[in-house]
Amino acid sequence: MNIDGIPTRTLRAHPEKRVIDIIDQARLPHALHWVRLATLAEAAHAIRAMQVRGAPLIGATAAYGLALALGEDASNARLDEAIAVLGATRPTAVNLHWALARMQAKLVPLMPAMRECAAWNEAADIAEEDVAQNAAIGQHGLGLFRQIARRDGRALNIMTHCNAGWLATVDWGTALSPVYAAHDAGLPVQVWVSETRPRNQGLLTAWELAQHGVPHTVIADNAAGLLMRQGRIDAVIVGADRIAANGDVANKVGTYLKALACTDNGIPFYVAAPRSTLDFACPDGAAIPIEERDGDELRVVHGLDPRGRPSALLQLAPGEAVGNPAFDVTPARLVTAIITERGVCPASRDGLLSLYPEEAHG
Ligand code: MRU
């Protein structure tokens, strides 16, 4: 997608220099700052500190993190250590573990001397596949949008939560890919962007929609139900961090409440995700680990001061007890459909297996 009109991906690999460059998303939307990662420790930190975030981008970064680790030492012990370090960074997004397992299967059979080069190649394949799969999600989602589009030419009003856009992937995004596809195809869309406290990923969504010229409005998370009741929302579309075998969906905390409100108001609730987000080994949402993050994410608000300088404000006393679960689980029965790179299916075991019959053995 574009930054200032220039096609840009969220991650740039430079195997010849043994580094990757990422956008520091902890500083967006207030500053666009690229960070160079050269070591396993730097890659793990970038994921943990959410300089990179969003399930598919976490997976791609972890794959490159392994390549960085093997440049230092390609022994079996180092490979195991690097997989353990990267795997411990964030628990909910299964794309992380999917990418590490894929890298491990590729690298373990190789002689150590062959591993670094193979790791860079495999990580590049993961990144390229992410782009292609997200583009396909966009086309399948566009088909759904066309079915619910107004005949009177009025814009389709789409609500989303968190950031499942270009920034959360290598390119295109998942939930926002159909939005970009619709916009580019001349189907007018208006996006309602929920702020997504406490980390405000909605502001990332607003930033990237603005870069692409897509009309949008930011709302407080708590305004979503009102807009739905007023008949101002045609569909909600979100991404996912993990979809269990029965179709239950883990995504950014607050997603479940939107799905409940959609159900009460007869509004379709779509989940867009690539194969790397599907966890056929996980029976249902109750088995999905939910990340609990630092309470300072609630205590401290980040923004710009009146002079435009980055600024942090304490809104709770340091000793105040806070809970900060980063994700919730939306039961499959509240999900209208899942959109993957292979098509659209019901949120159920049978639905998912209709798109991925090769997983039926499990
Ligand atoms: O904590 P984050 O910002 O990594 O959470 C991101 C989300 O919940 C996204 O909706 C999900 O990863 C899908 S991204 C295409």
> Tens digit of pLDDT for each residue in 44-55?
999 999 999 999
Flag whether the pTM goes above 0.95.
yes
**Fold category of 150-359 in CATH:** Rossmann fold (3.40.50)
Q: Where are the domains of the chain?
A: 2-130, 150-359
Ligand 1 contact, 329 CB (< 6 A):
no
HSE-up of residue 40 (Cα within 13 Å, Cβ side): 20
Ligand 1 atom with least separation from CA of 50: 4
**Amino acid 153: pLDDT:** 85
Residue 217's DSSP bridge partners are 192
Which residues belong to the active site?
Answer: 241
Residue 251 Cβ contacting ligand 1 at under 6 Å: yes
Strands 242-244 and 310-314: unpaired
Give distance in angstroms: CA of 213 to centre of ligand 1. Answer: 22
Ligand 1 centroid to 72 CA: how many Å?
Answer: 30
Could you tell me if the CB of 171 is within 6 A of ligand 1? no
Instruction: Please report the pLDDT score of residue 362 as a whole number.
Output: 61
Which strands, in side-by-side order, build the sheet including 327-330?
278-279, 242-244, 249-252, 327-330
Cβ atoms of 123 and 64 within 8 Å: the answer is: yes
- Residue whose Cα lies nearest atom 8 of ligand 1: it is 252
Q: For the chain (length 362 residues), average pLDDT per consecutive 10?
A: 92 98 97 97 98 98 98 96 98 98 98 98 98 98 95 94 98 98 97 98 98 97 98 98 98 98 98 98 98 96 94 94 98 98 98 97 70
Determine whether the shortest distance from the Cβ of 133 to ligand 1 is under 6 A: no
Q: Which atom of ligand 1 is closest in space to residue 95's alpha carbon?
A: 12
Nearest to 285 by CA among 237, 245, 253, 239: 245
The protein residue with its alpha carbon nearest to ligand 1, atom 5, reads: 54
Q: Is ligand 1 within 6 A of the CB of residue 253?
A: no
Residue 198 CA, ligand 1 centroid: distance in Å: 13
> CA torsion 321→325→326→332, rounded to 10°?
-160
Task: For domain 2-130, give the CATH number.
Answer: 1.20.120.420
Measured distance CA(215)–CA(200) in Å, rounded: 19
AA identity, residue 12: R
